[in-house]
Amino acid sequence: MFLLKVVFLSIKHHLLRFLLAIIGLAISITSLVYLMSFGEGARSLIQKNVRAFNLQILVLPPGQALSAQPILPRQLADSVRALGVGKVYAVLRLPYTGGFPPKAVGVVFGKDFSSSMHFLADYSIGKGRDLTDSTRREAVVGSVMARTAGWKIGDTVFIGTGKYVIVGIAKAGSPIVDNAIIVPLNLLMEDMGTERILAVAVAPPPERSEEVVKLLKKSFPNYSVQTSEDLMRLARSFVAIGDAIRFGLSSIALFVTAVFLFAIMAITVQERRWEFSVLRALGATRWFIFRLVVVQAVAVSLIGWAFGVLLGWGLVEVSGKVMVRVFGLDLLEMSAGILLLSLSVAIVVGFVGSVLPAVSAMRINVREGLGR
């Protein structure tokens, strides 16, 4: 308790100097929290989409997680169906950006009318009706996509070389549908000028999942067969790489802050030589002096961390709402992991920035410090 009283009395005495350190650390923590929230948002979005999928298994081009271009023959879906492995869906999608700057960002999906699967993800129709005919250029759009693009029933949307009339607004509560445009698969292929698809989705009965995976791998040795868990692990690995890059960018500001804190603590130690000498003369140990300086720096770091987390959380909330309103996707999310990471970083910065000045303080000669 005595140590803490001395620490905060010292901070109060050098308030302006430590206030600068607090501001610097708060800015660094804010950038760390904000950048890392993109990774948490991506992980959350991936989990929501995978949970929304009816599919459990994907048959993909050899050695690929998901092709950027449709290169699989559509007949592959018929070959998979012939095995009796469950519901099978031919997958074809096309990124969609409406306007410039974009008013809405989503994905166009082809509805496979030859499949017994309703869609890649379940949805219901909030307004209008569902697609009923594979030969009519009609579209169902997700509720978020309709809102951000300002679409309503009867409006037209241009996809590739085709023009589609919106006949229904879908609602599902999952990003994969809420930001989708669904049109007949065969017409989408025609508008894209292709006879090929991206992948074949398979939704087997749960009790047959492992059996179906083995059967597909045996039946189609020249293709890649991956489960939704495999895809999630792969997606998470890409997010983890992004996290490392984002943390590296944040580390630059944190390193500058640590150097700044070191300079402040070094100056403070020099100005308090007499104070430390008096404490030593009154019986304080060298270890007490060392802890005094370190705890003071860590206390300053924790105060900066608290302000930084509050600022970062506010920035994440505001940015998230803007992204949802503009793009229909919330790509930022706070988590306990970010809080623990930022707290650990703040403590490390406080320790690293103070350890050398603390060593210098504990080595002060009492006689010289008292001016004798």
* Per-residue pLDDT tens over the stretch 115-143: 888 888 888 899 999 999 899 999 999 98
Does residue 168 sit within a domain?
Answer: yes
359 and 294 in a single domain? The answer is: yes
Co-location of 66 and 44 in the same domain:
no
**Where is the domain boundary, 192, 222, 252?**
222
- At 176 the pLDDT is 79
Whole-number Å distance between alpha carbons of 291 and 302 = 16
* Residue 84 shares a structural domain with residue 187: yes
Q: 170, 192, 222 — which closes off a domain?
A: 222
Q: Is residue 231 part of a domain?
A: no
Q: What residues make up the domain containing 353?
A: 2-48+241-369
Q: Are 104 and 327 in contact (CB under 8 A)?
A: yes
pLDDT in tens, 244-279: 888 888 888 888 888 888 888 888 878 777 777 777
The answer to whether position 236 is within a domain reads: no
* 166 and 265, same domain (yes or no): no
| Alpha-carbon gap, residue 57 to 89, rounded angstroms | 11
**Residue 230 is assigned to a structural domain of this protein:** no
Q: Tell me: do 36 and 67 sit in the same domain.
A: no
Give the model's pLDDT for residue 168. 95
Cα distance between residue 328 and residue 80, in whole Å: 35
The band of 216, judged by pLDDT with boundaries at 50, 70 and 90, is very high
pLDDT band at residue 88 under the 50/70/90 scheme: very high
**Residue 101 pLDDT > 90, yes or no?**
no
332 vs 302 pLDDT, higher one: 302
The predicted pLDDT at position 1 comes to: 52
> What is the count of structural domains for the chain?
2
pLDDT band at 3 (very low <50, low <70, confident <90, very high): very low
Same domain? For 76 and 172 the reply is yes
190 and 163 Cβ atoms separated by less than 8 Å: no
- The residue behind tokens 């302006």 is 16
For range 7-19, the mean pLDDT? 59
Q: Does any domain span residue 343?
A: yes
pLDDT band at 372, cuts 50/70/90? very low
Identify the band that residue 219 occupies on the pLDDT scale cut at 50, 70 and 90: very high
Q: What is the rounded average pLDDT for all residues in the chain?
A: 83
353 has a pLDDT exceeding 60: yes
| pLDDT greater than 90 at residue 155 | yes
Question: For 139-153, what is the mean pLDDT?
Answer: 90
At 93, give phi and psi (nearest 5°). Answer: -135, 160
Q: Using H for helix, E for strand and C for coil, what is the string for the chain?
A: CHHHHHHHHHHHHCHHHHHHHHHHHHHHHHHHHHHHHHHHHHHHHHHHHHHHECCCEEEECCCCCCCCCCCEECHHHHHHHCCCCCEEEEECEEEEEECCCCCEEEEEEEECCCCCCCCCECCEEEEECCCCCCCCCEEEEEHHHHHHHCCCCCCEEEECCEEEEEEEEEECCCHHHHCEEEEEHHHHHHHHCCCEECEEEEECCHHHHHHHHHHHHHHCCCCEEEEHHHHHHHHHHHHHHHHHHHHHHHHHHHHHHHHHHHHHHHHHHHHCHHHHHHHHHCCCCHHHHHHHHHHHHHHHHHHHHHHHHHHHHHHHHHHHHHHHHHHCCCCCCCCHHHHHHHHHHHHHHHHHCCHHHHHHHHCCCHHHHCCC
Closest by Cα among 260, 83, 102, 84 to 179: 102
Distance CA 174, CA 180 (A): 10
For residue 6, is pLDDT > 60?
A: no
pLDDT (0 to 100) of residue 166: 95
The mean pLDDT value for 334-357 works out to 89
> What pLDDT score was predicted for residue 321?
80
pLDDT at 363: 79
Q: Are residues 192 and 328 in the same domain?
A: no
Answer yes or no: is 351 within a domain: yes
Using a cut of 0.85, tell me whether the model's pTM lies above it. no
Tell me the pLDDT tens digit for each residue of 195-210: 899 989 998 888 888 8
- State the pLDDT at residue 67: 57
Cα separations in angstroms, 257 against 254, 297, 310, 363: 5, 12, 18, 25
**173 and 310 belong to one structural domain:** no
Mean pLDDT computed over 318-336: 76
pLDDT tens for 342-352 read 999 999 998 98
The residue-averaged pLDDT of 357-366 equals 78
Are 68 and 216 part of one and the same domain? Answer: yes
Same domain, residue pair 152 and 78: yes
* Pairing relationship of beta strands 180-184 and 104-111 according to DSSP bridges: parallel
Token readout for 234 is 């792969």
Q: How confident is the model at residue 293 (pLDDT cuts 50, 70, 90)?
A: confident
Domain endpoint, select from 167, 188, 222: 222
| Virtual torsion, Cα 80, 83, 88, 91, nearest 10 deg | -10
Determine, yes or no, domain membership for 233.
no
Asked if 131 and 185 sit in the same domain, the reply is: yes
Q: What percent of the chain has pLDDT over 90?
A: 23
Answer yes or no: is pLDDT of 11 > 70: no
Residue 68 sits in the same domain as residue 217: yes
Q: Is the dihedral of CA 266, 311, 28, 339 positive or negative?
A: positive
**Range 47-63 average pLDDT:** 76
In a domain, 57, yes or no: no
- How confident is the model at residue 296, as a pLDDT? 85
pLDDT of residue 7: 47
